[in-house]
Chains A and B, each alone.
Chain A
Amino acid sequence: MRIHVKLYATLRRYQPDLPRGAALLLAVPPGTTVNQVLQQLAIPDNVPLVTMVNSSVCRLDCVLAEGDTLNLFPPVAGG
């Protein structure tokens, strides 16, 4: 199945060749979780991030479906 992944801010470094603002189109087996996508993108476990699927916050064990968009962005806390 195919999913889209959008990387924001600091996380863009894990797909440096992706045009800015574009979503990455990824072919993954059915049953793939958010965590497996992070591994496929070589994002280390210790990188703090917020994960959302189709605009809803999700956990790392969330199972993705055909056509889902996974948004990955860093925690932002400055003021």
Chain B
Amino acid sequence: MQEIGERLRALAVETTDAHGEQFWVISSARIREAAEQVGLSRREAEIAALRGHVLPGRYVRNLGTVGWEGQIALLQSTVGIIGAGGLGGWIIEGLARMGVGRLIIIDNDVFEENNLNRQAFCREGNLGQPKVEAARQRVAEVNVAVEVVTHQVRVDKPQEMVELLRGAGVLVDALDALPTRLALQQAARELSVPLVHGAIAGYVGQVMTIFPDDPGLLGLYGEGPVPEHGIEVQWGNPAATPMMVAAWQIQEVIKLLTGRGELLRRRMLFMDSEIGAIDILQV
């Protein structure tokens, strides 16, 4: 690792940050060459570079927010995203761009025409393609360092989810039905990992980070039976709402993985963009 660190530094450009600290920036092309030469994956090479205070150029604008240790933590992390539709697509896109090293993506569906209005990876040319496959292709285009594990299956029971999501440090709820969301909270409890919940309907959306001991969705909907769907059935899901809620969810994941900031924990952000209002509700 010492050797690869020195090799990468020799390929990098020296620069100084806003505080006058010296560091090096290396291009994606150079890091790819070096990784191939020494037989490391892109992710391993990026981590080695960061440890030697060599910043992959693609993360320059991350640095002020997550820092060196934060970027290493992101690359070493695994995040499970359950649902690769309206919310999941943007969440996967954002986490890949931030450099989260490994994504486990679960979704059983294929793209349909009514997904074109809002789902990040849905195109006229890929209707009928499994959503997880489109996600894998997109991540490969955006950030080669990110490893993607996909499962094209329907999961309803906590135990099924636990089996597929083992190894993830954070789970993201990008599902579209209440009973499945509650099952996912149970799975997150069994795995002892935090869950970042997001849901949308029309102009409205909500976000909350749920730790294993938190009431979370049970606090909102109780222990009894819940309806399959909410008001999204009447209000639909326009283009902007999933982007807005997914963006909050991405930020929660990044804070969890880097240990920075204050989480929306036991606090639910409830957004009504029709009237331009955001409320924070204790849950």
Contact = CB atoms under 8 A, between A and B. Distances in A.
Nearest to A57: B219
Interface string B220-248: 11000011111110110100001000000
A76 B234 CA distance: 11
A44 interface: no
Given A48-B227, A57-B220, A76 B200 contact: yes
A71 B198 CA distance: 19
Identify whether the interface residues of B are mostly helix, strand, loop, or mixed.
mixed
Q: What interface size band does chain B fall in?
A: 35 or more
B147 interface: no
Interface string A21-59: 100000000000000000000000000101010011100
A57 B242 CA distance: 25
B206 interface: yes
B182 to A, nearest CB: 10
A10 interface: yes
Interface string A61-79: 0000000000101111111
A20 interface: yes
A73 B232 contact: no
B262 to A, nearest CB: 17
B272 A9 contact: yes
A78 B178 contact: no
Interface of B: 83, 85-88, 173-178, 181, 198-206, 215, 219-221, 226-232, 234-235, 237, 242, 270, 272, 274-275, 277, 279, 281-283
**Top 3 closest A-B pairs, CB basis?**
A78-B232, A55-B282, A75-B230
